Amino acid sequence: MQTQRVLDEFRNEPFTDFSVAENASAYRDAVAAVRQELGREYQILIDGERITLSEKFESYNPSNKTEVVGVFSEVDVDAEALVNRAIEAASEAFKTWRNVPAAERAEYLFKAAAIIRERKHYFSSWMTFETGKTWAEADGDTAEAIDFLEFYGREMIRWAEPQPITPSPLPEINSVEYIPLGVGAIIPPWNFPLAIMVGMTSAAIVAGNTVVLKPSSDSPTIAAKFIEVLEEVGLPKGVVNFVTGSAATGNAMVMHPKTRFISFTGSKQVGLHINEQAAKTRPGQIWIKRVVAEMGGKDAIVVADDADLDAAAAGVVSSAFGYQGQKCSACSRLIVDEKVHRPLVEKVVELTKRLKVGQPTEVDSNVASVINKRSFDTTLSYIAKGIEEGGVLLAGGTGNDETGFFIEPTIIDNVEPGATIEQEEIFAPVLAVIKARDFDHALEIANDTEFGLTGALYSADENRLERAKREFHVGNLYLNRKCTGALVGVHPFGGFNMSGTDSKAGGREYLLQFMQAKSIAKKI
């Protein structure tokens, strides 16, 4: 493969402006095209061989719950044997893939990015159907996937260059090289089914590793479409192996002695289980497994008494209800100084009530369904709990699962610090409003959580902004802007405490999670 070319400096993929008639028409055409493909069956892929199993499961459209998006083989029925086969294939492929020059590995990513860019609305439309993403949310997801491919490709080329070291006082030639780890288990989430899945997978393989990819059973079709792209660019067989299943499949991947690392994004509960299982050494295992875990958040926006309330209200509503609050970075807590509580909350409620709940296939829908029936039921129980514990319902609070799993954007005021909905991640369009006595109290409430992913502060006081930099304990802090919308390369993403290992996806050090340094000294 020819790999020699001059690369432009990385630039983030622009978002689509759907107010332009041509762009809106193109997205509608993509929706119509994807609709014609709904219900197809997809196979697993091991060592370049497509395999159909007798047991199946279906992926459904959460906004139209009887509509089948894709049909998949259920690896759980024989997870140990099938996962072993996939890991053995990845192990064999690793023997050659690890020696492929970094620039050549990166070229596969660049070619995949070009294909996705060319078919951007097609990939976005799959997310509209399979995960209930509105046009803008799906477009942002696809743009981020392109960014990950372009960014990690460039970063691997950079890491493959001679690295700076201190000159030796001895007559030696010294160097440090970064080499891949081995076979990885890639377990991405459903909420960014293209971007995070692509980022986790591409980072691992561009670093020279081979992987077994198991997407969420709520979003397997989108992953299958990415596998088709990898086949189209000619990625060697066995480098990415694709299996579909649930807990049994994931456990088999995590516990296999030849699994060198696990890259996981998802809930705290599952992440801690994976970390625990990965820490156990099993027969035949010759390494300590590395775990890259990005988990949950209970993210807060703090609004001080000197804040621009219009800007704060807009940022809160966007952060809380974009993609139905189903982002680990979403604002689920609004902590506001009691002196501006009433005027701010009035603005937040007013903006929230303007949001249109509807089918994500329609351009004017702002809020669509939550991902599945379990999420729907759990969210309504949290809303009831919030009111039971003394919260005051200001907006929303109801759901309708007649056609899909729709929940009105919900605001609960007068939530006490320590209350259930102030502490536990809901992952749905539910905003808890907490009054603080002053700025000190607001920071105290914001940090009183087991998580530490994103947070934001609205204030005109530079001293307060500086104090937030020091004391607001989150991995991604935003000042006078919303707490969602991290851009690859611009906002390296990852959190503290129970939010995960702070691996900083989309940052310049992220690829180090998938490599190890080898120091080489040659006497002269």
**Look-up of token digits 């905003």:** 431
**Long-range contacts for 13-21 (Cβ within 8 Å, ≥24 apart)?**
13/117, 13/143, 13/144, 13/146, 13/147, 13/150, 14/143, 15/136, 15/139, 15/140, 15/143, 16/120, 16/121, 16/135, 16/139, 18/135, 18/136, 18/139, 18/363
Q: Which has the closest alpha carbon to 122: 229, 281, 260, 255?
A: 229
Q: Which has the closest alpha carbon to 86: 227, 194, 197?
A: 227
Q: Which has the closest alpha carbon to 407: 326, 295, 333?
A: 326
- Name the active-site residue from 294, 408, 422, 425: 294
Name the 3-class secondary structure at 390. coil
- Number of Cα atoms under 13 Å in the Cβ half of residue 250: 22
Q: CA–CA separation, 421 vs 453, rounded Å? A: 17
Q: CA–CA separation, 171 vs 169, rounded Å? A: 7
What phi and psi values does residue 80 have, to the nearest 5 degrees? Answer: -60, -45
- Helix (H) or strand (E) holding 337, with range, is strand 331-337
- Name the active-site residue from 74, 150, 328, 408: 328
Name the 3-class secondary structure at 190. coil
Q: How far is CA 128 from CA 18, 133, 276, 361, in A?
A: 15, 4, 35, 6
Q: Is 294 a catalytic residue?
A: yes
DSSP annotation of 366 reads: S
* All residues at 6 or more sequence positions from 471 whose CB lies less than 8 Å from its CB, including other chains: 443, 447
Please answer whether residues 224 and 239 qualify as being in contact, where contact means their C-beta atoms are separated by less than 8 angstroms: no
Catalytically active residues are 294, 328
